[in-house]
Amino acid sequence: MTAESSREFDVIVIGAGAVGENVADRVVRGGLTAVVIEAELVGGECSYWACIPSKALLRPGSALHAAQLVPGAAEAVTETLDASAALKHRDWFTARWQDHSQVKWLEDTGIELIRGRGRITGPREVQVDGLDGNSYALKATHAVVVATGSTPTIPDIDGLKDVPYWTTRGATSARTIPERFMVVGGGVAGVELAQAFARLGADVALVARGRLLSTFPPEAAKLVAAGLRADGVDLRLNADMHRVEKNDDGSLTVTLGDGKTLTADKLLVASGRHPALANLGLENVGVEAQNDKPLRLTTDSTGLVEGAASDGTSGLWLYAAGDAAGKALLTHQGKYEARATGDAIVARAAGKIHGAPQPWSPVVQTANEHAIPSVVFTDPEVASVGPTLEQALIRGINATSVELPINVSGSQLLSSGYKGWAQLVVDEDRKVILGATFAGPGVAELLHAATIAIVGEIPLERLWHAVPSFPTLSEVWLRLLEKYGL
């Protein structure tokens, strides 16, 4: 490190992923100054190694499959996917892992960028080891926001640390499609990337400890499993990966708990993620792991981190949002948290928040409690918001559910032999929808209607008057309400 420079900003944001960018944006819109510290690429995981490239790799397969299921169009499909064109299109979506356009957005928005690794050294103080070789001692007048994202959780599997393997970064930035591809983990990342690689030409095996997509209703997960099997994915469910070894030809052999073996050219470990809080200096402000458990932050509904030491002026200075806060590891929900946190910082700076702000006010992340939407972008898709029936019952709510296969004119037009499933979870005391799940091709776009119904607490009797257009997939709403008894 050479020069040491001291700077003061109203707000320091550590991490310039989608979440850090959005916090800084709201803060600057509110008239405060903001700096973001970024150690890698401005835009973070979603733009370069997660949402965008994974969806870019999935889309060619779902487009082709959709055409193959429409008589008349199917006859026109005479070729298989062009994997190298798909990889090239993915390269375009990731801007070839260059962040010029996002840096320009920061400049245009009036947000300062310091490239380097940030570390909290005391209340409102951040030290940055700049990528330019300089060291920066920063002071925040109002707030420091931890928006450092998450990192893959690597399971303790015999031999794994001695062999080369991919995490999701390796898979989403693949230069070629491996011949034999193995995925460990039956969560969202595992199923999406297994299908993307299968459709791009790999022989794929997926090893999951239980069933696929364990946080989604089993009926939805079964449709995804059928979709993966139809693409030739060798699903090893309820299977443990016991050991992995490297062979002389560079391939890997995995031994499962039942003694069976699988050989692959590339192994993807997609077994969950945890907040990226290591080496952040949180211990310098009294935020430490308890009882040998991994460090997790506890944040209130505005994003304030509990337990952060004060510098004597006010305790309210340390915030976290997005994956780092660990509430919902999803870009859209992280950006929602970012908007609330950014606005809360501005409101507190102006002395406009006294005590706990009201739920559903702009500075509170109330939707985290009721309506977190998420989509699994496989073919078929799964789109879900709010609690499942089981989750609602565990919360002590008097809940029931109504479910049916999706079979309306809109689905029949979308593809012959359309297979889908839909469920509404209903609060019987308030007669409103608590949750919804849709599974099937093209259901992702059905989800926002459910999110609006839940957030708006629309009574079922009024929802009855929301007439879906004919012949669209949305007619499933009508069938669900009819089956419920309206």
Ligand X SMILES: NC(=O)c1ccc[n+]([C@@H]2O[C@H](COP(=O)([O-])OP(=O)(O)OC[C@H]3O[C@@H](n4cnc5c(N)ncnc54)[C@H](O)[C@@H]3O)[C@@H](O)[C@H]2O)c1
Residues at the binding site for NAD(+) are 185-192, 272
Q: Which of 30, 44, 60, 187 binds ligand X (CB under 6 A)?
A: 187
- By CB under 6 A, tell whether 329 contacts ligand FAD: yes
Residue 47 tokens read as: 């733009």
Among ligand FAD, ligand X, none, the one that 239 touches (CB under a kind-dependent 5 to 8 A) is: none
Instruction: Name the residue nearer to ligand FAD (CB basis): 271 or 301.
Output: 271
CB of 24 to ligand X, least distance (A): 23
- CB neighbours (10 Å) of residue 294? 11
Minimum CB separation from ligand FAD for residue 372, in Å?
10
Of 102, 127, 148, 301, the residue at the interface with ligand FAD (CB under 6 A) is 148
185 part of the interface to ligand X, by CB under 6 A: yes
Q: 50 or 297, CB closer to ligand FAD? A: 50
Query: 375, 414, 460, 480: which one contacts ligand X (CB under 6 A)?
Result: 375
Applying CB under 6 A, among 330, 349, 408, 450 the residue interacting with ligand X is: 330
Question: Rg of the chain over CA atoms, in angstroms?
Answer: 24
Of 19, 8, 4, residue with least CA distance to 339: 19
| Closest listed residue to residue 34, CA positions, set 63, 61, 9 | 9
Q: Rounded CA gap, 408 and 198, in Å?
A: 30
Query: Which residues 255-284 are close enough to bind ligand X by CB under 6 A?
Result: 270-273
Q: Which residues are annotated as a binding site for FAD?
A: 55, 118, 148-150, 323
* DSSP label of 304: B
> Which of residues 50 and 287 has its CB atom nearest to ligand X in the complex?
50
Separation between Cα atoms, residue 385 and residue 150, nearest integer Å: 22
User: Residues 43 to 72: which contact ligand FAD by CB under 6 A?
Assistant: 44-46, 50-51, 54-55
Q: How many Å apart are CA 327 and CA 333, to the nearest integer? A: 9
Q: How far apart are CA 198 and CA 203, in angstroms?
A: 6
- Picking from 146, 155, 440, 442, the residue whose alpha carbon sits closest to that of residue 322 is 146
Region of 283 please: left (phi>0), alpha (psi -120 to 50) or beta: alpha
Q: Which of 29, 59, 117, 209 contacts ligand FAD by CB under 6 A?
A: 117
| 3-state per-residue secondary structure call for 81-121 | CCHHHHHHHHHHHCHHHCCHHHHHHHHHHCCEEEEEEEEEE
Q: How many residues touch ligand FAD (CB under 6 A)?
A: 37
Residue of 48, 49, 166, 377 interacting with ligand X (CB under 6 A): 377
Rank residues 241 and 408 by Cβ distance to ligand X and give the closer one.
241
The answer to whether 219 and 423 have CB atoms below 8 angstroms apart is: yes
Nearest residue (CB) to ligand FAD, 44 versus 60: 44
Q: Say which residue the tokens 């429409």 belong to.
A: 70
Q: How far is the CB of 214 from ligand FAD (least distance, A)?
A: 17
Instruction: Write the interaction track for ligand FAD spanning residues 274-313; mark x where CB under 6 A is met and - where it is not.
Output: --x---x---------------------------------
Q: Which does 170 bind (CB under 5 to 8 A by kind): ligand X, ligand FAD, none?
A: none
Task: Report the SS3 class of residue 266.
Answer: strand
Smallest distance from ligand FAD to CB 49, Å:
7
d(CA 230, CA 94): 29
Contact 265, 251 (CB under 8 A): yes
Q: What is the crossing angle of helices 18-29 and 331-349, to 10°?
A: 30
Q: Which of 25, 231, 323, 379 binds ligand FAD (CB under 6 A)?
A: 323
Nearest distance from C-beta of residue 141 to ligand FAD, angstroms: 20
State the residue for tokens 């560079």.
250
Give least dist CB 214 to ligand X, A: 6
Give the Å distances, CA to CA, from 218 to 12, 119, 231, 382, 422: 43, 43, 20, 11, 12
Instruction: Output 30 or 187, the one with its CB closest to ligand X.
Output: 187
Nearest to 205 by CA among 221, 185, 222: 185
State whether the Cα torsion 354-358-359-361 is positive or negative.
Answer: negative
Contact (CB, 8 A) for 379 and 191: no
Range in contact with ligand X (rule: CB under 6 A) among 206-214, 275-283, 290-298, 447-455: 206-214
Q: Is 349 in the site for ligand X (CB under 6 A)?
A: no
Which window, 368-376, 382-390, 424-432, 451-459, contacts ligand X (CB under 6 A)?
A: 368-376
CB of 469 to ligand FAD, least distance (A): 27
- Interface with ligand X (CB under 6 A), residue from 184, 200, 205, 392: 184
Helices (H), 166-250: 168-172, 188-199, 218-230
Query: Which of 332, 370, 431, 479 touches ligand FAD by CB under 6 A?
Result: 332
- Residues of this chain that interact with ligand FAD (CB under 6 A) are 14-20, 37-40, 44-46, 50-51, 54-55, 117-118, 147-149, 168, 172, 189, 276, 280, 322-324, 329-332, 334, 377
- Residues of this chain that interact with ligand X (CB under 6 A) are 155, 184-190, 192, 208-209, 214, 241, 270-273, 329-330, 374-377
